[in-house]
Chains A and B, each alone.
Chain A
Amino acid sequence: MYQNFQYSPPSPWATRKEETAQESLGLEKGFPFAWFDIHGAEIAEIREKVERLERRLEEREKQQIISIQFLESEKLFLKQSIVVSLVYSPEAELWIVDCPELNLYGEGEDENQSIKDFKVVLEEFYFGLKKDKEKLGVELKQKWDILEKIIQEK
């Protein structure tokens, strides 16, 4: 049985040549179309946007909602607590306390510093509005009305 087996190499004169992988793709004949990377820049831009959104989402997940119960002030005290968000900004390498309702923010190298900073900003904002309370535009008048409700002078 084994004696019947004979290896015969492909003849150089054979009509059907064995194809290499490259040949079977037709590359040896020259591709009829030129390939342009027209979407590369768009893909890179979209990828960058997705990465940015992912980062924002991560940051949003890390966001804490906290309540400011008192001011460390000699002149003012809070009649009611203020709800703010506390988030770390990797870009700024800062913690940021934000109160969109009052349109105020505080910043600091750690959570405590950013909360303290927010309290300082709130106090300075309060006295800044108080000195001009008769001359406030619509928006700042609204803020002043809120401040009068939540803050009392000692």
Chain B
Amino acid sequence: MPMKLSEFKSGVIGKIKEKFKVVERTGNHIYYEIWYKGKKIKETHHSHGSGGKEISDDILQKIKRQLNLNKINQLHDLKNCPMTAEDYFNLLKQKNVISD
């Protein structure tokens, strides 16, 4: 299921911000750097677009991989709440992307 750019920013990135520092960088695309304890641990990007523009499933698939999620559904779960920032944190910990 595609996701609106605005939903991605407020829902997914907004949720990640609850636990991590997120730095937005703008160039030809919009980049989101995810920081934890002074380390840049992840980076994802999407193209510019109006608020109504949607991110297709095929692009979400790449974003999912950049964020170390297992399924596209987890992006929707982050946006729609079943997945908390804490759950995402634990997932990254499980995958040894971060350590306490």
Which A residues fall within an 8 A CB radius of B?
89, 91-92, 94, 96, 98, 100, 103, 105, 107, 117, 120-121, 124-125, 128-129, 132, 135-140
A124–B26 Cα distance when bound, in Å, is 10
Tell me if B62 and A139 are in contact (CB < 8 A).
no
Instruction: Label chain A's interface by main secondary structure.
Output: mixed
Residues from chain A with Cβ under 8 Å of B68 in the complex: 139
- Known A-B contacts: A105-B62, A124-B29. Give 8 more (CB < 8 A): A89-B59, A94-B58, A100-B65, A129-B40, A135-B38, A136-B39, A138-B96, A139-B42
Tell me if B45 and A121 are in contact (CB < 8 A).
yes
Interface residues of B in 41-56 (CB under 8 A from A): 41-43, 45, 47, 56
Which interface class (under 10, 10 to 19, 20 to 34, 35 or more) fits B? 20 to 34
CB distance from A102 to the nearest CB of B (A): 10
A93–B59 Cα distance when bound, in Å, is 11
Contact partner of B56 among A91, A103, A121, A132, CB < 8 A? A91
Contact partner of B28 among A91, A120, A135, A138, CB < 8 A? A120
Tell me if A96 and B58 are in contact (CB < 8 A).
yes
Contact partner of B43 among A91, A96, A128, A135, CB < 8 A? A128
